[in-house]
Amino acid sequence: MSAPLLELRDLHVQFRNRNGSIARAVDGVDLQLAEGEVLALVGESGCGKTTLARTIVGLERPVSGEVRHRDAPLRYDRKGSKAYRRQVQMVFQDPSGSLNPRQTVYEAVAEGLRIHGLGEGEEERVAGALARSGLRPPERFFTRYPYELSGGQRQRVVIAGAMVLEPSLLVADEPVSSLDASVRGEILALMQRLVQETGVTILVVTHDLGLAWNIADRIAVMYLGRIVEQGTTEQVLGAPQHPYTRALLSVVPESHNMDPQILVGEAPDPTRIPPGCRFHLRCPLYASGEAERLGIADRCQGEDPTLPAGEHVAACHAVPDREGAPA
Amino acid sequence: MSAPVATEPLLSVRDLHVSYPTDAGRLPAVRGVSLDLAPGDTLGLAGESGCGKSSLAGALLRLLPRGARVSGEVLLEGEDVLTMKPGRLRAVRWSGMAIVFQGALHSLNPVQRIGGQIGEAIELHPSDRKGKTSTRVGELLELVGLPARRARDYPHQLSGGQRQRVLIALALACDPKLLVADEPTTALDVMVQAQILRLLDDLQERLGLATLFITHDLSTLVAACRQLAVMYAGRIVEEGPSEEVFAHPKHPYTRALAAAFPVIGDPAFRRNPSGLAGDPPDPRELPTGCTFHPRCPVARDACTSLDVELWPAGDRRRAACIEVLPA
């Protein structure tokens, strides 16, 4: 396998609350993204997925660990971060909030080019990016303002503004969750097409497993600051290993054939991560006594499971370390 | 779920129209909707933003802003809500039908304890219930799965899911026969969404509550409701038993909407996001003929001029499309 496009090594990101407590939003993440792949990072709100995305694009600084892009560590000085930000672009959830209401479509897309001193052939580049994003003919959109566009068209403008810089990585945080269902598929199809046409790598942050089934090559499931399961989309959604993934999958209305395992409570507090397995207090295996029967309950309480190396892996004491090993 | 015995409908909406004044004339939001809901039954109203579903909900309880023009009939147990005197209307709101909105954070008073807010609703509406208000508040909180001691909390001390439970308790304060739930789970996380859906299902069974469930999320409606009605541009374009409508849609819009919710594990949806080109129409410039024809993948010449009404399309089903008309 060639070197990954992006690599996260034991990444930790923390925030200090007003009361002095420390939220461990990202709490030891190792992750690799290969060139041209689509990886879905899924989890409940508060699991740290947005913080992880922001750290990848350089908007947050880790307290330890590193972000490596094409085998070079991300630098946080001005020059280093500017070069990096051209390579790594972010698309946010709400396109209306990402666009300046007083800026035309042309200005919005050209802005990135100007910041990065790429003024040459500006009009062609803007037109090309708009056309690639499905706004055709592009000239018709140049002088439009955001309020004249539909939600789907606005998200296309945001994507064009990111793609005009020809980035190697697009980080999309819930890119379609504010859009209508009928429009959502069109934007996902666009993202898929961009990967095929430009070879861009996409990290899509979402709570929507259906979206992952639609477009992702691989899935990483995040819980309380840690990746608890990862594998190909078929592996993770077809044969989930971690009880958290199984629970998430079981409550999707489209998964009719699973008994819903509704976890009690909401995602716990990153300022108070439970000792042992961080999931054990909500874990159906632990609560039902299954962990006790398997003889692992003590480890669930006292030992923090790590994510083993491998294609499809889960950080759970109930899952054998190597595929094929007896449980 | 057992099918309710055919009885007089609890709610019967007849040819409902809602329009709003704008600078450019009246904007039609609901354009002739009729629907029936039997006691204890569940009806899901699906549609995208701007289709008129929230205007419809507001019209049922006469909660629309001043200036909105409403015509038609909203019969609750045979009595027209639209022509009720204010005193009668006040009695019917809460005890006849109650509404739960999305955005639980903003519907509660931030400086009043939960118990006080629920108590107020109980006391405003005299009932023949005996006992102290505080006892009833405790009962209601327990009914929605919260400990009675939570009555002393302020809204900010509760999580999003807990606040949504409080809103449901509030809606149930006066034993309504009909609950109108307008996007009750939209702002919530998947796991919390599943908890609230289970609660609504449970309440419906225990209290014999009829529910009109309104959301853009077709897959949630199919899981939660027996009947389904799909709205487009202010009208119902398809209705029938929800599983059948979702599995075998008759209207091309329903077909597109159903395809926009991927079935995880189904190869047909893998790497194949599906949407609809274009956007829902602007209510000020509705297309001629069938309002869906500009986006319709199977439109014929006649569709630009022929405005098809709901027409029988199989057992207990109706659809407003030229395809279901007899040849």
Which residues in chain A show pLDDT less than 50? 322-327
* CA pseudo-torsion sign A187, A189, A194, A195: positive
A174: which chain B residues are within 8 Å (Cβ-Cβ)? none
B280: which chain A residues are within 8 Å (Cβ-Cβ)? 180, 182
| pLDDT at residue B106 greater than cutoff 80 | no
Q: Quick one: pLDDT at residue B128?
A: 59
Q: Quick one: pLDDT at residue B1?
A: 46
- Taking CB atoms and an 8 Å limit, are A210 and B262 in contact across chains? yes
- Taking CB atoms and an 8 Å limit, are A180 and B274 in contact across chains? no
| pLDDT at residue B41 greater than cutoff 50 | yes
Identify whether the C-beta of residue B122 lies closer than 8 Å to the C-beta of residue B133.
yes
Q: Are strands B227-232 and B235-241 parallel, antiparallel or unpaired?
A: antiparallel
Q: Which residues contact B145 (CB under 8 A, 6 or more apart)?
A: B165, B195, B199
A185: which chain B residues are within 8 Å (Cβ-Cβ)? 259-260, 273-276
CA atoms of B297 and B294, how far apart (whole Å): 9
- Taking CB atoms and an 8 Å limit, are A180 and B161 in contact across chains? no
Identify whether the C-beta of residue A32 lies closer than 8 Å to the C-beta of residue A230.
no
* CA pseudo-torsion sign A310, A278, A30, A85: positive
Considering only the beta carbons, identify the residue of A185, A213, A237 that sits closest to B275: A185
Outline where chain A has alpha helix (H). 49-56, 78-87, 95-98, 105-115, 122-132, 151-163, 181-198, 209-215, 233-238, 243-250, 284-287, 290-293, 297-302
Considering only the beta carbons, identify the residue of B191, B223, B295 that sits closest to A253: B223
**Is residue A167 reached through a cis peptide bond, with omega within 30 degrees of 0 on the bond before it?**
no
CA atoms of B30 and A322, how far apart (whole Å): 59
Considering only the beta carbons, identify the residue of B193, B259, B264 that sits closest to A213: B264
| Per-residue burial over B50-76, b = 16 or more CB atoms within 10 Å of its CB, e = otherwise | bbbbbbbbbbbbbebeeebebebebbb
* pLDDT tens digits along B60-93: 999 999 999 999 999 999 999 999 999 899 888 8
Q: A53 to chain B nearest CA, in Å?
A: 19
B165: which chain A residues are within 8 Å (Cβ-Cβ)? none
Amino acid making up residue B320:
A
A38 touches chain B (CB under 8 A): no
Q: What is the mean pLDDT of residues B153-159?
A: 90
Q: B274 to chain A nearest CA, in Å?
A: 4
Q: Quick one: pLDDT at residue B192?
A: 84
Best residue in A254, A259, A263, A281 for a mutation probing chain B (most B CBs within 10 Å)? A254
- Taking CB atoms and an 8 Å limit, are B279 and A260 in contact across chains? no
- Taking CB atoms and an 8 Å limit, are A260 and B218 in contact across chains? no
Instruction: Give how far Cα B248 sits from Cα of B113, B228, B242, B263, Å.
Output: 48, 13, 10, 14
| A244: nearest CA partner in chain B | B191
Identify whether the C-beta of residue B233 lies closer than 8 Å to the C-beta of residue B27.
no
Tell me which residue of A197, A210, A241, A242 sits closest to A223, measured CA to CA.
A242
Best residue in A47, A156, A178, A182 for a mutation probing chain B (most B CBs within 10 Å)? A182
A294 touches chain B (CB under 8 A): no
- Taking CB atoms and an 8 Å limit, are A214 and B160 in contact across chains? no
Tell me which residue of A189, A260, A192, A203 sits closest to A32, measured CA to CA.
A203
> What are the beta bridge partners of residue A277?
none
- Taking CB atoms and an 8 Å limit, are B272 and A254 in contact across chains? no
B291: which chain A residues are within 8 Å (Cβ-Cβ)? none
Predicted TM-score (pTM) of the model is: 0.88
Q: Quick one: pLDDT at residue B101?
A: 79
| pLDDT at residue B4 greater than cutoff 60 | no
CA atoms of B184 and B166, how far apart (whole Å): 12
- Taking CB atoms and an 8 Å limit, are B264 and A186 in contact across chains? no
Q: What are phi and psi of A53, to 5 degrees?
A: -60, -45
B265: which chain A residues are within 8 Å (Cβ-Cβ)? 213, 237-238, 255
- Taking CB atoms and an 8 Å limit, are B190 and A251 in contact across chains? yes
Best residue in B53, B231, B264, B282 for a mutation probing chain A (most A CBs within 10 Å)? B264
* pLDDT tens digits along B204-242: 999 999 999 999 889 889 989 999 999 999 999 999 999
Considering only the beta carbons, identify the residue of A181, A210, A237 that sits closest to B257: A181
Q: B60 to chain A nearest CA, in Å?
A: 24
Q: B180 to chain A nearest CA, in Å?
A: 21
Instruction: Give how far Cα B198 sits from Cα of A262, B12, B242, Å.
Output: 9, 26, 18
| pLDDT at residue B130 greater than cutoff 70 | no
| pLDDT at residue B6 greater than cutoff 60 | no
Q: Quick one: pLDDT at residue A254?
A: 66
**Interface confidence (ipTM) of the complex:** 0.87
A268 touches chain B (CB under 8 A): no
Q: What is the mean pLDDT of residues B27-38?
A: 95
Tell me which residue of A263, A265, A276 sits closest to A305, measured CA to CA.
A276
Tally A–B CB contacts below 8 A: 119
A182 touches chain B (CB under 8 A): yes
Q: B162 to chain A nearest CA, in Å?
A: 9
Q: B240 to chain A nearest CA, in Å?
A: 19
Identify whether the C-beta of residue B193 lies closer than 8 Å to the C-beta of residue A209.
no
